[in-house]
Amino acid sequence: MVILDLNNIDLSCVLVIFGGTGDLTHRKLLPAIYNLKHSGKLPDSFAVVSIGRKDLTDEAYREQAYESIKNFSRFKEIDERLWQDIAGRIYYKRFEFEDSSGYENLKAFLEQLDVKHNSKGNRIFYLAVAPEYFGLITDELNKQNMVVNGDSWQRLIIEKPFGRNLSSAQKLNKKIKEVFSEDNTYRIDHYLGKEMIQSLMVLRFANSIFEPLWNNKYIDNIQISSSETVGVENRGGYYETSGALKDMVQNHMLQLLTLTAMEPPINLNSKSIRDEKIKILRSLEEITPKKIREDIVRGQYGEGIINNKNVIGYRQEDRVSPSSNTETFVALKLHVDNFRWAGVPFYIRTGKRMKTKSTEIIIQFKSVPKVLYAKEYETLKPNLLVIGVQPREGIYLKFNTKRPGTENFIIPVDMDFCQTCQFESNTPEAYERLIFDVMNGDNTLFTSWDEVEYSWKFVDTISSQWGDSKLVLPNYEAGSYGPVEANELLTKDSRQWWNL
């Protein structure tokens, strides 16, 4: 990450949230702002303007914000003194995003806040809205001359999905670039704000015991898994046009892959790190129709049992077609065609309504030669390095040792560092970290346009081949580890998924 001297950085700004009454704002953004204040990271010259379609007063909106912070902040109890300071800096404006007069009034109001809160014209525009409004809002901001980047700065935060495919992403990016430069455009992927993802580079490049082994000489395979126990909930309409491939693989999973596989950057600035990530995306083995048939598995959950409760199948979810072929699970076998990773398979899987909620990166090291202990013990387990991203954050190393006693019996044991166990509420939430990074102009943990473009090229190749194939769905029960074909993807290579 970029090393910053925060004493010399002016964090003064107004955070303008389009979609201020939405779920994301109440569950993540408002609690993140309070958490930053609680941690001493929020400047005194700061204000929030939330924009929505509901008819609310400032006071009514502040009451809602208070409840959101109380329910979702990582700090268990609200410090009333801190809250009163924040409450006086939260404002609400109602207007339709298509209404040009609303932006004209917003500009005048923000100029008033600059005087009141000494925010110096600095702005963060957060688009917590549906993607179809991205271009419209940036256009209107430009028409009102609200993006100048002269003596002040203006930055844009965009939530995923960034487009529906490569073509739509390119059109959207062209539209945004007319108003905001690449340096001032922050495409958010909240996975990159998670503490253990940030620790991944430290694990690799600050420890001499790991980086020399981080290659095809010592690593047998790498598994990146992200599973959820929940279904699509109230997102059926969106998920029908997306599916697991576009919703998870195109962004989160490929980002985890790039950070795991990248070469050491020349320094810790954002451009150097992004350059190395892009090299990995460019090095992904070409996806041919044969590979799509043999190395990619998709699935859809049916009815099942989660936490001892019966749950419905995907086709019974709200706003989902009863004959839907949308995938809720994807497993892929990939290769990175470069010198470091030649011959090492990367196995990726992600799915909804799975047995457990977990995101992990598992490095499986090569087995020892079939002599000595490996010859005597047929079930000798390989060494594993496990990076837990969520919900349990931490790192543990699985290795073999002798069980105490008179017999020479070998067992696998763990050397375990549980970050959430040690630090609990002291660990910043992803959005908390990411908003702070935007304030200080650090885009390391955000996705560059080149990353978006290469990942869409990769995903579009797969989705275009899937087409209207006659895959029989659903093909896995809710509460399972996914389709049996996902297991076969590894067993045909004499490997297995590690469900730890």
Helices (H), 125-227: 134-143, 166-177, 195-205
Q: How far apart are alpha carbons 241 and 324 in whole angstroms?
A: 11
Q: What is the pLDDT of residues 214-271, one digit of tens each?
A: 999 999 999 999 999 999 988 898 899 899 999 999 999 999 999 999 999 999 888 9
Contacts of 403 (CB under 8 A, 6+ apart): 409, 410, 411
Q: Nearest to residue 1, comparing CAs of 267, 190, 395, 186?
A: 267
Measured between alpha carbons, how far is 317 from 478 in angstroms, rounded to an integer? 13
Does position 5 have pLDDT exceeding 50, yes or no? no
Say whether pLDDT at 405 is over 80.
Answer: no
Domains contained in the chain, CATH given: 6-159 (3.40.50.720), 192-428+448-491 (3.30.360.10)
Q: Residue type for 317, please?
A: E
Confidence of residue 4 (pLDDT cuts 50, 70, 90): very low
Query: Is the per-residue pLDDT at 8 higher than 70?
Result: no
pLDDT score of 367: 84
Give bridge partners of residue 351 from the DSSP assignment.
227, 329
What is the structure's pLDDT at 37?
A: 94
CA max distance for the chain: 83
Task: List residues with catalytic annotation.
Answer: 252
Q: Give the CA-trace dihedral at 39, 40, 42, 45, to 10 degrees.
A: 160
- Side-chain-side CA neighbours of residue 386 (13 Å): 27
pLDDT tens-digit map of 68-120: 999 999 998 899 999 999 999 999 999 999 999 999 999 999 999 999 999 99
pTM score over 0.75: yes
- Cα–Cα distance measured from residue 332 to residue 354, given in angstroms and rounded to the nearest whole number: 17
The model's pLDDT over 162-215, given as tens digits with 9 standing for 90+, comes to: 889 999 999 999 999 999 999 999 999 887 877 778 788 888 898 999 999 999
Cβ atoms within 10 Å, residue 474: 20
pLDDT for the residue 175 = 93
pLDDT in tens, 334-350: 999 999 999 999 999 99
Res. 272 pLDDT band, cuts 50 70 90: very high
Handedness of CA 193, 196, 199, 204 (dihedral sign): negative
pLDDT of 55 over the 70 cut: yes
pLDDT value of position 1: 45
